[in-house]
Amino acid sequence: MNTVNIEEFFERADINYKKIEDNVYSAGFPGETHLYDVWIRLTDGWVFFFIGPLTREVKEEEKERISMEIARLNYEITFTKLYLSPENDVVISIELPEEVFNFELFEEALKNIVFYGEKVHNELKKKMEEW
């Protein structure tokens, strides 16, 4: 059972949020060009932040190219992970261990996932339009 009180962190940061189900929360954050829904899931021992999909659905013929772009971006960007979901959506996530999770990491994770989510969204959108 996860002991993180994420609702307290949302309230302390004065962020409007929705409780979707037990241990799953969502909040909207504006980037410079887009509004991003950040999802937070609490599991045994972990706090997961994620945004997805970041792009339109990846077509079958684009999977190899997008996988190469995801690998390149994962190499360049620290603190986050990008992956292609089973539904062919590009997703960005941050995974933090519950044992060290605190309010400062909560704020840092939100700031980073929106910043890098927007960077990836804009970069991949442009590339996918060129394909």
Domains along the sequence of the chain with CATH: 6-130 (3.30.1460.10)
What pLDDT sits at residue 33? 83
The pTM assigned to this predicted structure is 0.91
User: Which distant-in-sequence residues (6+ apart) come within 8 Å of 87 by Cβ?
Assistant: 53, 57
CA-CA distance, 72 to 7, in Å (whole number)?
35
CA-CA distance, 112 to 11, in Å (whole number)?
19
Residue 10 has pLDDT above 90, yes or no: yes
Residue 116 has pLDDT above 90, yes or no: yes
Mean local confidence (pLDDT), 41-67 = 95
Mean local confidence (pLDDT), 102-123 = 96
Q: Is 121 left (phi over 0), alpha (psi -120 to 50) or beta?
A: alpha
Q: How confident is the model at residue 96 (pLDDT cuts 50, 70, 90)?
A: very high
